[in-house]
Amino acid sequence: MLLSIALSGTGLLIALIVIIVNICALITVIFLEKRRPTAAFAWCLLIIFIPIVGFIVYIFLGRHFYHKRLFDRKGLADQALNTYVEEELSSAAADKQLWHKGCGGFERCAVALLKTDNALLTINNKVDVYRDGYEKFEALKDAIRSAKHHVHIEYFIIRDDELGREIVSVLAEKAKEGVEVRALFDAGGVPGGYKKLFAPILENGGDVRIFFKSKLPVSPRINFHDHRKILVIDGKLGFIGGFNIGDEYLGKGELGRWRDTHLRIAGGAVSTLQMRFIADWNYTAKDKPIVIKEDDTLYFPDDLLEDYGQSVVQIASSGPDTKNRPIYSGYVDLIGRAQESIYIHTPYFVPDEGMFEALRLAALSGVDVRIVIPCKPDHPFIYWANRSYLGDLMEAGVRGYEYKDGFIHSKASIYDGKVFSVGTANWDIRSFSLNFETQAFVYDAEIGAKAAADYLKELETDCREITLEEYRSRSFRQMVLEGISRLFSPLL
């Protein structure tokens, strides 16, 4: 009898502790973190119906309060670094002709990106597009080998495999020559034994830093990743896009052929990629920051003003350190202004209410909206959420496709064949709010028209259309999986 009383007392104590912890978690989610209602509701459901597991998941995946303060400080530091750029932006905004040169009717989007992210509009760029990993990485290695003063590389993932070691070797060679080599990688995207992988760079005088470094062998963070993929050579040449560094991005992984999109840029837009790298580097490498002097021509060469090409480019960045969600705002603005077509590639399609409604209204108004998602799930919950959102949009006239020739990881979209957006941001909540992303917006009718033609050709050769009839006749099991995944999609 006494044992049963003791056990019941222990059980009551544990239950009381669970209740108190859950109440604290709910108060934090609802009142302190000021989340979007859908996200707050999803977290509350998880914490209430799966008390212990839900709380553990929240601890590792959901906490924003401390990180918001942390990244607010990063945002202030970035803003201080961008002071001299703001002067250029102010004078550019005053020049009315600048906003009517080459934006193809999307001038207002350019203005919005300027105001939300200080995204300088540059009008003298040459842009090359890569869709194949072998071509992209050969161009990347050639660019690194051409460096005379510095190499700045910032990537989410680098694998300790053949390609990863090859890129490290090329970087080490330049460091040995006396070139400044700075490499920044995310803690969640590097192997546990990364010191051995990066040893050749460090031994030859280069510097490697880990963004939000963890004391554990494997980073436990699910959010707040540096998801950017940036390379800047001598302040004159830049790369941005979706490819990470590893053999799988050459199609050697379990998912098969890897379809992605990356840009090589020469011209004024490189200065904004450079600013992005320096801001992230200085936040991480506080002991060895890059000090920018007035009229600095080593990191910001004078000849960036020369006529490299005719492409108008803006580089926008977003993350937990930005308040206006610039990339998200740019997407929604482009959707609303498109008159003829919207073509989207994305591996993760989990739009919020605003973006979903913008796409739905565009389709209802007669705009040709097409979206390609993977046919192979690298993340099962996201795969089913993808299909759920896409299925609902198909009811409004959006045409949905699955990429059947491997895995599509491309974060690219085309608007009226005039604006081509390529970068690191997926069409999901994590990319728009929780991770650090960078996206290029290219206003060029020639590049846009070619990208649109390639997109349509690819739909015929490498994709399978999901018909509305097929979607409506899906199995009960699929509907359940979609429903569960969509319910918790604000957490994905």
Annotated catalytic, 149? no
Of the listed 226, 260, 333, 416, which one is catalytic? 416
Of the listed 78, 186, 226, 234, which one is catalytic? 234
Of the listed 136, 152, 411, 418, which one is catalytic? 411
Quote the CA–CA distance of 379 and 422 in Å, as a whole number: 22
Residue 3 has what pLDDT? Answer: 42
Quote the CA–CA distance of 217 and 215 in Å, as a whole number: 7
Name which of 392, 380, 405, 399 is nearest 474 in CA terms. 392
Quote the CA–CA distance of 338 and 352 in Å, as a whole number: 19
Of the listed 152, 409, 428, 444, which one is catalytic? 409
Annotated catalytic, 215? no
pTM of the model: 0.84
What are the DSSP calls for 436-486, one per residue? BEEEEEEE-HHHHHHHHHHHHHHHHHHEEEE-HHHHHT--HHHHHHHHHHH
DSSP state of 372: E
Of the listed 227, 236, 345, 418, which one is catalytic? 227
Distance from chain centroid for Cα 440? 11
Residues 267, 125 contacting (CB under 8 angstroms)? yes
Residue 370 has what pLDDT? Answer: 98
Of the listed 152, 174, 225, 229, which one is catalytic? 229
Residue 346 has what pLDDT? Answer: 96
Annotated catalytic, 416? yes
Extract the tokens encoding 69.
Answer: 């303060």
Residue 295 has what pLDDT? Answer: 74
Name which of 327, 348, 296 is nearest 437 in CA terms. 327
Name which of 377, 143, 159 is nearest 250 in CA terms. 159
Residues 223, 134 contacting (CB under 8 angstroms)? no
DSSP state of 12: H
Name which of 7, 36, 38, 26 is nearest 489 in CA terms. 38
3-class secondary structure for 276-312? HHHHHHHHHCCCCCCCCCCCCCCCCCHHHHCCCCCEE
Degrees to nearest 5, angle at CA 438 with 330 and 405: 90
- Residue found by looking up tokens 């979209």 in the block: 413
Average pLDDT per 10 consecutive residues for the chain, totaling 492 residues: 51 66 58 54 60 60 50 53 51 47 82 86 94 97 98 97 97 98 94 88 97 71 86 97 97 93 96 94 93 84 85 93 88 96 96 94 98 86 90 96 94 97 94 92 96 98 96 92 77 56
Annotated catalytic, 227? yes
Quote the CA–CA distance of 258 and 250 in Å, as a whole number: 6
Residue 203 has what pLDDT? Answer: 97
